Structure 1
Amino acid sequence: MLHHISFGVSDLARSSAFYDAALAPLGYVRVFEHETAVGYGKEGGGDKLSLKLVSEFVLPGDGFHLAFAASAPDQVRAFHAAALLHGGRCNGAPGLQPHYGSHYFAAFVMDPDGYRIEAVINGATVS
């Protein structure tokens, strides 16, 4: 349904370094770069997440978060570790999240600006 989503960020260099590291284990890379914006997606494809430098921004409320698809639990763990090493804050350690489903394996972080993001795999092969 969605084509892409954009986040306004306070420091583009800091945010892009964070997303470079956090999204790499999930197979997402920078697909475009401009002095005021950076886009992420699959190699050779268009951007699905765009970071845009803004002078002021307001974080979405508690109900908003963005979940990135993973294909294996190790990717979720690597996403979480990389995010924490690059300025993210833990908002839920990697593991099964039975309150979301018996096969929902995810990790939750807050990026340097406070956006809530997640990496998740949800399938019968997860244990």
Structure 2
Amino acid sequence: MIDHISIGVADIARARRFYDAALAPLGYRRLSAGDTHLGYGADAVVLWISQAARPVPADPESGLHICFAAPGRAGIEAFHAAALAAGGADNGAPGLRPDYGPGYYAAFVIDPDGYRLEAHCEAAP
């Protein structure tokens, strides 16, 4: 249903460093880049990031977050570690989330602009 999503950031170079590191373990890479934009995906851009004069990061009270499909638990653990090393903040360590489903394995981070991100896979309980 959704073709892509776009977010605005305060510092495109900082966003490039963060998303290059955080998305690589999930099998996503930078497919497009310019002075004011970045595009990430596996085969096609599904996440556009643009330099914004007044970015509006996700409000923790809004419930808005972006969830990336992961190839497995190891990818989720690497996503979480890479995101933290690249300036993100922990918002939920890798692990099973039985409230979401018996095999729901995920990790949660907050990017340097305040966007809440998740990496998820279904794993045997």
- TM-score normalised to the size of structure 1? 0.93
**Contiguous gaps of at least 5 residues in structure 1:** none
Query: What does residue range 19-98 of structure 1 map to in structure 2 within 5 Å?
Result: 19-42=19-42, 45-61=43-59, 62-98=62-98
Q: Name the CA distance, whole Å, in 1 between partners of 2:34 and 2:109.
A: 26
- TM-score normalised to the size of structure 2? 0.94
**Contiguous gaps of at least 5 residues in structure 2:** none
In 2, are the aligned partners of 1:70 and 1:119 still within 8 Å (CA)?
yes
In 1, are the aligned partners of 2:58 and 2:116 still within 8 Å (CA)?
no
Identity rate of aligned residues, in percent?
51
1:46-88 Cα offsets, whole Å, 9 max, x none, are 2100110001022233310000001210000000000000000
Aligned pairs, number: 123
Q: Name the CA distance, whole Å, in 1 between partners of 2:110 and 2:48.
A: 17
Q: Name the CA distance, whole Å, in 2 between partners of 1:59 and 1:46.
A: 24
CA RMSD of aligned residues (A): 1.0
